[in-house]
Amino acid sequence: MPELRENFREVLRRYTAGDPMREDVRWTNLKKTEIADRLAKTSTPVSVNIVTQLLDDANFHRRKLRKTLAMGHAPRRNDQFEYIAQLREEYEDSWNPVLSVDTKKKESLGPYFRPGLLFGAEEVPVYDHDFLHAAEGVLYPHGLYDLQRNVGHLYLGLSHDTSEFACDNVYRWWMRFGRWYYPYATSLLLLCDCGGSNDYRRYLFKQSLQKLADRLQLKVRVAHYPPYTSKYNPIEHRLFPHVTRACAGVSLTDLEMAVQLMRKTRTRTGLRVTVEVVKKYYATGQKYSAEFRAAMPLEFDDDLSAWNYCALPGAARDLLLN
């Protein structure tokens, strides 16, 4: 019906917006029933099913917003991506572990609302507001994702997300898993974001990293993803979304329930997750030592040195003794 299609195009034209730089990017804020009502006023009444067909023919489909526009641009970000890919290949070929590291959004314990749906005989009542003062506790899920083995490790902190907490979790992973799975490893590669407890600008993180290398007696190499590119860190799309899905629609009323749900995280590609509760208290407001900053025992790469550096076991002691 040419008349129907012409009226449909006219209705959309009045309620359609688009991207001024791309002719093919358009959208409408009308619902299907609203389109049908407006078509009826043009003497071409149709059902919602016909409207669906018309929208499909015009390449209008239900879509959601995508977080693809960076809020900033770091110089030489592509060079860093290529360097990280090179490092990953070198470490994987030599069977040295590659860990993607980050902290997930903190979780409040108690009858709080969580998005998602579950099968149930009746609704479960939760708080009508998410005020933290009513929480029975707060969890700081710090994650390590083992790229070679496709295994995620979650360490649930009960105090604060600090640099010491992040580095201690790498040590916990090594003592419980890493040394058995990588018995001939001589180095670790940590892939980190640029902010948070592993901020590349924080001397406290670098000091904690040196202590980690001394405890492990291994070389610890760090490669940071450039600012505004944290979503490219593998843990962001290979572990955290699946943990969120495993907990969807369930109120984390206590610590035991949170641990059980997170341990159930699975994917068809074989992802498995371990969970450990960290009861040690980590205080905020810690300061790095002036001696460490003056000596700065870390080895920085010649190129892109702000994002790439190594901690060698015993390096701080040797420099301070000299």
Distance CA 288, CA 68 (A): 36
151: amino acid identity, one letter: V
Least confident of 26-30, 161-165, 180-184, 301-305: 26-30
pLDDT of the residue at 236: 93
For 168-211, the pLDDT digits (tens) are 999 999 999 999 999 999 999 999 999 899 999 999 999 999 99
Of the ranges 126-140, 228-242, 265-279, which one carries the lowest mean pLDDT score?
126-140
Nearest to 109 by CA among 144, 165, 155, 156: 156
Residue 114 has pLDDT above 90, yes or no: no
Among 94, 97, 127, residue whose Cα is nearest residue 113:
127
H, E, C per residue of 31-100:
CHHHHHHHHHHCCCCCCHHHHHHHHHHCCCCCCCCCCCCCCCCCCCHHHHHHHHHHHHHHHHHCCCCEEE
Q: Where in the chain is the domain with CATH 3.30.420?
A: 77-321
Q: Is the pLDDT of residue 263 over 90?
A: yes
DSSP 196-209: GGG-TT-HHHHHHH
Q: At residue 204, what are phi and psi to the nearest 5 degrees?
A: -65, -40
Q: Which CATH class is domain 77-321?
A: alpha beta
Cα three-residue angle 227-233-239, rounded to 5 degrees: 140
Which residue stretches of 145-202 are H helix?
Answer: 163-173, 179-181
Question: What's the pTM?
Answer: 0.81
Q: Is the pLDDT of residue 129 over 80?
A: yes
State mean pLDDT over 138-156. Answer: 96
pLDDT digits (tens, 9 = 90+) for 76-101: 889 999 999 999 999 999 999 999 99
CA distance 20 to 29: 17
Give the rounded percent of residues in the chain with a pLDDT score beyond 90. Answer: 57
Average pLDDT over residues 108-137: 84
